[in-house]
Amino acid sequence: MATFKAIRIDKAEKGTTAALAQFDEAELMEGDVTVAVEWSTVNYKDGLAVTGKSPVVRRFPMIAGIDFAGTVLESSHPSWKAGDKVVCNGWGMGETHLGAYAEKARVKGDWLVRLPDGLSARQAMAVGTAGYTAMLSVLALEKHGLTPKDGPVVVTGAAGGVGSVAIALLSKLGYQVIASTGRTSEEAYLRELGASEIIDRNELSAPGKPLGKERWAGGIDSVGSTTLANLLAMTKYRGAIAACGLAGGMDLPASVAPFILRGVCLYGIDSVMCPLPNRQQAWSRLATDLDPAKLEQMTQEIGLDQVIDTGAKVLAGQVRGRIVVKIA
């Protein structure tokens, strides 16, 4: 019986358990492409899955991990053949479909994106779902018509994965970036990524007025709740905020004032079911618009055996930037 190493989640009497275990190849789920997984990453959602803190896993047994980069081993899908380098993220991997913390994955060929020229498999996972979500957010702001001459942009959860990549991308594109963080000790790191101003997240986390002083033309928010409400209240006339996260809460105690008095737009960013053409655009822009030296600077490497502990640290806000997981 062929087996491979994987982080396996099982249902327990109370909640779930997670462990590095051997997984039977015969248990792989349906799919027309089998991939040798080389690199994965630890995102916020992976932290929720491996700790069982939130019910993101909805099928048991599950292999955790929402994204991978690797090489196609076998394919009956017309777009893919053995040897192709691919990236996969979202689509329910690690939630309803067996995921990425494994030496092998079987998925639908329609879920895969070709590893873009200019990115190695390791770099693609240093970007990971967090970085790709940051890029989707930048693309939403660009589609809105935002340009660097409109004024500064704000990034919340700045020292986290989405935040770090968002700062590096926006600064490379010429924006003046204001970074909001609870870790002001990370000021030097955030400035090296490209932030020109650092603000304490406490400035944005308390309930504020429906409209505040206009401070930024746009923003990328991975925090939600009162932080997002305050971001909207302080956005300049006809500006835009891309909302992609809930690290501070899922609620949105906002008023309509920014929308109806300043024409502010709020864009929702979903990475999981995002259509393929948008994914391809995001990954190809990441290959050209993200400074590889900055990506390396924000990235730490771990092994499969460190994923569970690291997931807990991500949820505790103790991880800076991005984590790559070496699988092969």
Nearer to ligand NDP, 84 or 221 (CB): 221
Distance CA 93, CA 80 (A): 19
Quote the least distance from Cβ 295 to ligand NDP, whole Å: 14
Quote the least distance from Cβ 248 to ligand NDP, whole Å: 3
Quote the least distance from Cβ 77 to ligand NDP, whole Å: 25
Q: How many CA atoms lie within 13 A of 198 on its CB side?
A: 18
Distances in Å between the Cα of 149 and the Cα atoms of 135, 173, 259, 263 are: 20, 11, 22, 18
Q: What is the residue type of 117?
A: D
Nearer to ligand NDP, 84 or 186 (CB): 186
Nearer to ligand NDP, 201 or 236 (CB): 201
Quote the least distance from Cβ 97 to ligand NDP, whole Å: 16
Nearer to ligand NDP, 218 or 245 (CB): 245
Distance CA 186, CA 158 (A): 9
- Radius of gyration of the CA atoms of the chain, in A: 20
Nearer to ligand NDP, 28 or 177 (CB): 177
Of 294, 304, 264, the residue nearest 141 (C-alpha): 264
Quote the least distance from Cβ 23 to ligand NDP, whole Å: 25
Nearer to ligand NDP, 171 or 222 (CB): 222
Provide the residue count of the chain.
328
A 10 A CB-CB count for 226 gives 19
Which residue minimizes CB distance to ligand NDP? 160
> What's 77's DSSP letter?
S
Quote the least distance from Cβ 250 to ligand NDP, whole Å: 9
User: What are the start-end ranges of the H helices in the chain?
Assistant: 44-51, 121-144, 161-172, 187-193, 202-205, 225-233, 257-262, 276-289, 292-297, 307-315
Distance CA 82, CA 25 (A): 18
- Round to the nearest angstrom and report the end-to-end CA distance of the chain: 20
Distance CA 162, CA 292 (A): 16
Residues that bind ligand NDP (CB under 6 A): 43-45, 129-130, 133, 157-163, 181-183, 201, 205, 222-223, 227, 244-248, 269-272, 314, 317, 319
Residue 101 token pair: 């913390």
Distance CA 115, CA 262 (A): 41
Quote the least distance from Cβ 41 to ligand NDP, whole Å: 9
Quote the least distance from Cβ 306 to ligand NDP, whole Å: 16
Nearer to ligand NDP, 231 or 304 (CB): 231
Nearer to ligand NDP, 75 or 133 (CB): 133
